[in-house]
Amino acid sequence: MGFTFRSPKGQVTLMGLIFLLNFTAFMVIQAYASNLYGEVMGANVNTAIYASFTLSCFVSPTVTNKLGTKLTMGLGILGYGALVVASVAYFLHETAALGGVVVAGGAVLGLGAALLWTAQGRLILQYSALHGSSGELLAIFWGIFNVSAILGGIMTFAYFSQSEDSGNVALYVVFLAFILSSAALCAAIVTPAALARDLDARAAEGDANRDVENEGMGPRDALLENPGPAGTAAPAPAPASESAGDSLQGGD
């Protein structure tokens, strides 16, 4: 199956780009939480993220069934944005109350992560059923996704080489731009059901084109184009010399 946007490969590539944008921001937040928030708040944020993620995994399949994979993925990414928005408010005012809001934002992120990864897994499996090879699609997705670690490292180096070891509003505005761009791209996802209809339509169109071509052929051309039993079962004529010899022998 070729590579087009409305194909399993094209859609998995899009998913990889969506995750690339989202996790470029998140990997910096996660890896440098103690630098960005301070040791205590950083630990609390990470605890809230993973506790919420663990519990939310029990309900995320039900939510995905109700909302569909496309909407669930978009909402899951916006959950990552909740932590970023809370962090912007905290860095603007830095009060104890807003510190609690940041931890709550981490809990919302954990819920979003459960929704995001549940929808991603289901989409990959459904696209694989259409494509016929899950290994190739997984390789495309994870290959693109893992670039986020490289970009996150570059962003971290650029930031901490120029700034103090703490977060600031400008950094989180960049994070928010990445996350919102990622969520917006979810609108371009073609659901597996729609993709299956496209593939069926292309197959039917190809069959119709072949039928039209065959109708324009003469009997001999059609036989050469589609050799069947009539073309393969006909006995080969005997050479003229052999036939003549048989006649002479018969005359004796």
- Rg over alpha carbons for the chain, rounded to the nearest Å, is 31
What is residue 167's predicted lDDT score, i.e. its pLDDT?
Answer: 62
What is residue 210's predicted lDDT score, i.e. its pLDDT?
Answer: 56
Nearest to 78 by CA among 208, 229, 185: 185
Structure letter (DSSP) for residue 234: S
Q: Domains of the chain: which residue ranges? A: 22-198
Structure letter (DSSP) for residue 162: T
Q: What are 206-239's pLDDT values in tens digits?
A: 555 555 455 555 554 444 444 444 444 444 444 4
> Rounded distance, CA 50 to CA 107, Å?
8
Model's pTM, two decimal places? 0.76
Q: What are 151-197's pLDDT values in tens digits?
A: 988 888 888 787 665 567 888 899 999 999 999 999 999 988 888 88
3-state secondary structure 5-37: CCCHHHHHHHHHHHHHHHHHHHHHHHHCHHHHH
Q: Where are the alpha helices (DSSP H) in the chain?
A: 8-31, 33-37, 39-56, 60-67, 69-93, 96-131, 134-145, 147-160, 169-185, 192-215, 219-225, 229-232, 240-251
3-state DSSP assignment of residue 168 = coil
Sign of torsion over alpha carbons 43, 148, 152, 182: negative
Q: How many helices (H) and strands (E) does the chain have?
A: 13, 0
**Average pLDDT value for residue range 38-58:** 94
Considering the domain 22-198 in this protein, what is its CATH number?
A: 1.20.1250.20
